[in-house]
Chains A and B, each alone.
Chain A
Amino acid sequence: MRVRFWGTRGSIPVSLTWRDLRDRLVEALVAGSGQQLDTMAKAHEFVERHLPFSLRRTYGGHTACVEFEPGSEEYFVCDMGSGARAFGEHVMARNAGRPATVNVFMSHVHWDHIMGFPFFGPAYVHGTRIRILGCHDVIEHAFRLQQSPPCFPVPFDQLLADIEFVQLVPGQTVQVSGVSVTPKLQLHGGDSYGYRFESAGKSLVYTTDSEHKLENIMNTEGFVKLFRNADLVVFDAMYSLADAVSVKADWGHSSNVIGVELCQMAKAKRLALFHHEPANDDPHIEQILRETGRFEELTQQGHRLEVIAAYDGLELEL
């Protein structure tokens, strides 16, 4: 199973500013001084080998949109955040005129998770089939609402694709075009749902916009079951633990520390920090990743968990 991250930012899209870019250029030029970088190839190699992630790349700024390829002709994606625009371009390019079938699994319908849909190209192509699945009963209403006047110029009814809404039931595993899908209720304003996807012996857990109350043992056990032996857990790590249990308690998000602990209990193989706080710049996220890796080292008991920070454009093979 291949996983592609099209949007990894929480709450609202962000972008590098001109100051960020200028400062990176300055830092990179200083780092490269005296290195004989007189060809593009040498410069590329230097950048990839010697500059930190936060200088040579960016975690990116699109909101939630994560595709996975279970080895089917159909497309599978979680959430329609602003990353859905680039995902749509990918679908159109790959299908080269042939209509696609896209399965969309919705965690919930807060704006950052649906805002990409009006810019999702395949929705404007005759013959495309879009199946939008989720546990909320307001998904269709939310999708139509954001494309209603005066918010957007193209009404939902003018989309050319064949769009179907499918209601899922939390805790009930269903088969969707050969993929086993188990939704789980999560703690978030208006509720959210996490998913466990299984196909051909690989398992992916997508769990964003989910707060974990540490005193609730049942909650912990439920998520350990959802994460059990997963090949990848995409986890809402928006806040620090201290913020998540104090000033930002009840804001509906979690932390890197809780992500590691739940994955360790579940013996998951890989944890992807996700739904990055929009206020955090690249060096800050890089620092959180370093610290999370260190926390995993300090707390591992015979089980090694790989920790990564998801970024827009990241592709993983499970």
Chain B
Amino acid sequence: MYANVLVLAPEGRLDHDNCAAFHSALDRHLEETGNVAMRGVVFDLSALEYVSSAGLRCFMLAAKQARVHGGRILIAAMQPVVSEIFEISRFNLILDAFPTVRAALESLSPESARAYDQA
């Protein structure tokens, strides 16, 4: 957590086999975005090697859920393969992506970027 932004960093592969578990875990975190102080969630995907269609859908559902609470979901630091999959599936058009976690935090709130710099 950096100030009012939660950073989550899934690792490995996110596919049909584990997306249900990922979605449940995500739900618990996203409930926290209901907290008025929370501005959103940044997914640090620097350790994510692969994402399937089912995994992409989890990100989209997370973004929808966060919007209900007035929060945002941002994607950051994708590996090249994951970045290509986002483009081919056109998920780059429906989710905001940033080259670094810091850039994503800066977009959500200056406080979170400062907290990240000081960490």
Instruction: Give the interface of A toward B (CB within 8 A).
Output: 214-215, 217, 220, 240-243, 245-246, 255-258, 261, 291-292, 294-295, 298-299
CA distance A299 to B56 in the complex (A): 14
A-B pairs with beta carbons under 8 Å apart, 8 shown: A214-B16, A215-B20, A217-B16, A242-B89, A242-B94, A245-B57, A245-B60, A299-B50
**B88 interface residue (CB < 8 Å to A):** yes
In the complex, whether B65 has a CB less than 8 A from a CB of chain A is no
Check if B54 sits within 8 Å of A257, measured CB to CB. Answer: no
Q: A255–B89 Cα gap in the complex (Å)?
A: 9
Complex: A292 Cα to B84 Cα, angstroms: 11
A258 surroundings in chain B (CB, below 8 A): 53
CB neighbours of B81 from chain A (8 A): 298
B115 within 8 A of A: no
Interface residues as binary, B47-63 with A (CB distance below 8 Å gives 1, 0 otherwise) = 00010111011001000
Q: B93: CB under 8 A from chain A?
A: yes
Taking the nearest CB of chain A, how far is it from the CB of B104, in angstroms? Answer: 19
> B93 to chain A: which residues have CB within 8 Å?
242
Which residues of B are in contact with A by a Cβ distance under 8 Å? 16, 19-20, 50, 52-54, 56-57, 60, 81, 84-85, 87-91, 93-94
Q: Which residue of B lies closest to A295 (CB)?
A: B88
CB-based contact B85/A261 at 8 Å:
no
From B50, B85, B89, name the one whose CB has the most chain A CB atoms within 10 angstroms: B89
Inter-chain contacts of B60 with A (CB < 8 A): 242, 245-246
Q: A242-B93, A242-B94, A246-B94 are in contact. Are A261 and B53 (CB under 8 A)?
A: yes
| Beta-carbon contact of A241 and B91 below 8 Å | yes
A215 in complex: contacting residue of B54, B56, B84, B89, CB < 8 Å: B54
Contact B85 A295 (CB under 8 A): yes
Instruction: State in angstroms the CA–CA spacing of A246 and B60 once bound together.
Output: 8
With A214-B57, A220-B16, A243-B90: A294-B84 Cβ-Cβ less than 8 Å: yes
CB neighbours (8 Å) of B19 from chain A are 214
Task: Determine the distance from Cα of A214 to Cα of B52 in the docked complex, in whole angstroms.
Answer: 10
4 additional A-B pairs beyond A214-B16, A240-B89, A257-B88, beta carbons within 8 Å, are A241-B56, A246-B60, A255-B89, A298-B85
CB of B94 within 8 A of CB of A298, answer no
Complex interface: chain B residues within 8 A of A217 (CB)? 16
Q: Bound complex: CA of A302 vs CA of B61, how far in Å? A: 31
Nearest-Cβ distance from residue A298 to partner chain B, whole angstroms: 6
Give the top 7 A-B pairs by smallest Cβ distance, nearest first. Answer: A240-B90, A241-B89, A242-B90, A291-B88, A214-B54, A295-B88, A242-B91
Give A292 Cβ to nearest chain B Cβ, in Å: 7
Asked if B84 and A241 make an inter-chain contact with CB atoms under 8 angstroms apart, the answer reads: no
A215 near B57 with CB under 8 A, answer yes
Inter-chain contacts of B52 with A (CB < 8 A)? 261, 299
The complex places the Cα of A84 from the Cα of B53 at a distance, in Å, of: 34
Contacts of A242 in B (CB 8 A): 56, 60, 89-91, 93-94
Docked Cα-Cα span, A241 to B53, in Å, equals: 7
Query: Which A-chain residue is minimally distant from B56 (CB atoms)?
Result: A241
Contact between chains at B89 and A257 (CB < 8 Å): yes
A240 to B81, CA, bound (A): 18
Docked Cα-Cα span, A220 to B52, in Å, equals 13
Give the distance to chain B from A283, nearest Cβ to Cβ, in Å. 16
CA–CA, A255 to B54, complex, Å?
Answer: 13
Min CB gap A284→B, angstroms? 12
Task: Collect the chain B residues with CB atoms within 8 Å of residue A241's CB.
Answer: 53, 56, 89-91
| B53 pairs with A294, CB closer than 8 A | no
Contact of B53 (CB < 8 Å), options: A214, A246, A292, A298: A214
Which of chain B's residues have a CB closer than 8 A to the CB of A240?
A: 89-90
Complex Cα distance, B57 from A261, in Å, reads 14
